[in-house]
Amino acid sequence: MASVDDVAVYILRKQGKITAMKLQKLVYYAQAWSLVWDEAILFPERIEAWANGPVVPDLYRQHRGRFEVSAQDFPAGDPSALAPEERETVDAVLDFYGPRSAHELSELTHREAPWRHTRLRAGLAPGERGTAEIHLEDLFEYYDGLTSADTAEA
């Protein structure tokens, strides 16, 4: 199984230097859509519902204090650890979410149920710091529901 570092380096090699916030959101969406499309966990590290959106703390510890990050900032990352179907999933995520700004992605995650419900369950007020985990089941249920909604509209 790939690590979050492997996924981050894969994303950064495709996107080039981006903000740390955008990387966090792209990693989050890659995990969510891997659960739906591949029915598999992309990386084992936990995702938490921080005040500014979903964050993978293991990744954050490596880029803390940096506004922008590049593949060189994650020397442990090995994008070849991703299986072909995992790369396809991340590529699809990048095609859809990659052109959006970090701010747009942050606002989007704030409107979606996994982040909102996790913070609500943890009793966190808007803007309040917290480390409540966003459960993989919540990601799957919400994003799988989006694909069902798309199918129903077609």
- pLDDT at position 151 is 56
Q: Is 47 helix (H, G, I), strand (E, B) or coil?
A: coil
- pLDDT at position 37 is 97
95: tokens are: 């095609």
Going from the first residue of the chain to its last (154 residues), give the mean pLDDT of each consecutive group of 10, the final group possibly shorter: 97 98 98 98 98 96 96 97 98 98 96 97 96 98 87 53
Interatomic CA distance for residues 118 and 138, integer angstroms: 9
35: tokens are: 């659960």
Number of H helices, E strands in the chain: 7, 4
Interatomic CA distance for residues 35 and 141, integer angstroms: 9
- pLDDT at position 24 is 98
Closest CA to 28 of 138, 151, 128: 138
Asked whether the whole model's pTM tops 0.85, one would answer: yes
Burial label, 111 (beta-carbon count in 10 A; 0-12, 13-18, 19+) = exposed
Neighbours of 37 (CB within 10 A): 17
40: tokens are: 């598999």
- pLDDT at position 152 is 54
